[in-house]
Amino acid sequence: MAGLLEISRVGVDSLPQDLHYRVTDSNTGETVANVSPVSVGETPQESGFKKMRKAAKLGPQLSRQPALRRYVPRITVVVTDAWNSAVLFVDRAEKIVGNPYVPHCAVVEPGGRVAGYLTDDHYKFPRPSEDDVDPDGMGVIGGRRHLRDQAGEALCDVVFRFAMPSMPQELNHDPNVDTTRFIGQNGTVWARRRGGNPVVEISPDAPQPLRTLILAAAIAETIDEDYHRPWPDSPYTPPPPLQAVPDPYPGYADVHSRYMEYQQEFVEWYRKHMTGRFTSSL
C-alpha cells in the first residue's frame, strides 16, 4: 500500500460523524488516512438584541447575506496514517461575522512546525470578468487562493476553470477537462481535478512540502463544503465544540494571530465598500 504522501489520486470522503473523514487512494480504493477533530471552538450564544445590533452594523443590504451573518468557530483536525500515527494537522481559522469568504488554514506537522498555509485573498472579487479566460476559452478564477510555504511565499495558485456561457456547459462535467489546477510559480500544473470529480490528481513529480499542502487543501475543501454555506437555502449547523487539552501542537495559540488581524481589517473594509452594492455573488 502506498503511503499517504505518495499516492497520486487523493479522495476525501465524509463519514457520518461530524468532522470525521477518510482519505483514500483512488487508484486502489484503499484507505490511507483518517481525519478527526482535536479541537473545535465554541459558537457564541447570542441574544436577539446582539444579533440585531450586528445586522444593523452590516446594513440592510449586507445583513441579508447568510455568509456574512454566520460565525464558524476554529476547527482543527488531525490526519493519521494507516498505523494511527499523526501525520499533520489542518487548522482552520475561525470565520468571524462580517466576512463572507473561506478562512485561512495552517498546515502543521506533529511537532508544531508549520509546513505552510492555505490562503484566500479576501480583497479579490470571486467572479471573473469576460476577459478572464485561458487559451482554451475557459473562464478562470486565479490569483485568489494559494498554497504558501511557512514563510508565506506562494508555491501554488489554485485556479478554477469553467465553461463560459458561449461554450457547451457539458464541459464542466467532462472527465477529460480540468476544472481545478494547482499551478506552480513557473507555470507547472502540479495537481488537478477533472470534470465534477472531487478526486485530486497529483503529479508524481510534485515535490515536498507542496505535496503535503495539496493533500491538506483536499481535506480543507471538504470541510469547507460542510461548514461554509453562503446561500439562504443551505442548511447550517455549527460543529459540536471540542476542547483540546492540552493544545494539539506547540504554537497552537498564535498560529492564526496574523490572519485574524487581516480578517478584522477586511471586515471593516468590506462593510464600508460593499454596502449598497450588488452582493448576490456571495
What is the rounded average pLDDT of the residues 153-162? 95
Cβ neighbors of 64 (< 8 A, separation 6 or more) are none
Neighbours of 229 (CB within 10 A): 17
Confidence of residue 278 (pLDDT cuts 50, 70, 90): very low
Residue bearing the bigger pLDDT, 262 or 230: 262
Once rounded to an integer, what is the mean pLDDT over residues 237-258?
A: 94
Within 8 A by CB and 6+ apart from 106, the residues are 89, 90, 91, 93, 114, 116, 117, 255, 256
Identify the pLDDT of residue 46: 58
Instruction: Identify which has the larger pLDDT, 45 or 208.
Output: 208
Q: Who contacts 70 (Cβ-Cβ below 8 Å, separation ≥6)? A: 95, 97, 229, 236
Structure confidence by residue, pLDDT tens digits, 90-102? 999 999 998 999 9
Confidence at 59, pLDDT banded by 50, 70, 90 = low
- Helix ranges (H only) for the chain are 48-62, 66-69, 210-227, 257-274
Residue ranges of domains in the chain: 9-274
Burial of 137 (0-12, 13-18, 19+ CB in 10 A): exposed
Cα distances from 97 to residues 25, 169, 216, 236, in angstroms, run 37, 35, 25, 15
Beta strands of 41-121 (E only): which ranges?
75-81, 86-92, 105-108, 114-120
Q: SS3 of 29, please?
A: coil
Mean pLDDT taken over the chain = 88
CA distances from 129 to 103, 125, 126 (A): 24, 10, 10
Q: What's the grid cell of residue 259?
A: 490572519
d(CA 251, CA 107): 12
Cα→Cα distances 94→90, 121, 158, 189, 269, Å: 13, 16, 22, 30, 18
Predicted pLDDT at 62: 56
Cell 444579533: give the residue: 51
State residue 160's pLDDT score: 94
Greater confidence (98 vs 149) lies with 149
Residue-wise pLDDT for 179-199, tens only, equals 999 999 999 999 999 999 999
Instruction: Specify whether the CB–CB gap between 22 and 31 falls below 8 A.
Output: yes
Lowest mean pLDDT among 68-82, 168-182, 244-258, 265-279: 265-279
- Whole-prediction pTM value? 0.90
* Cα gap 167→60, rounded to integer Å: 37
Amino acid 135: pLDDT? 87
Alpha-helix runs per DSSP H in 63-135: 66-69
Q: What is the pLDDT of residues 83-132, one digit of tens each?
A: 999 999 999 999 999 899 999 999 999 999 999 999 999 999 777 666 78
pLDDT in tens, 4-47: 889 999 999 999 999 999 999 999 999 999 999 999 999 987 54
Mean pLDDT value across residues 149-159: 96
Average pLDDT of span 61-77:
80
State the cell numbers at 37: 477533530
Percent helix, percent strand, percent coil in the chain, to nearest 5: 20, 30, 45
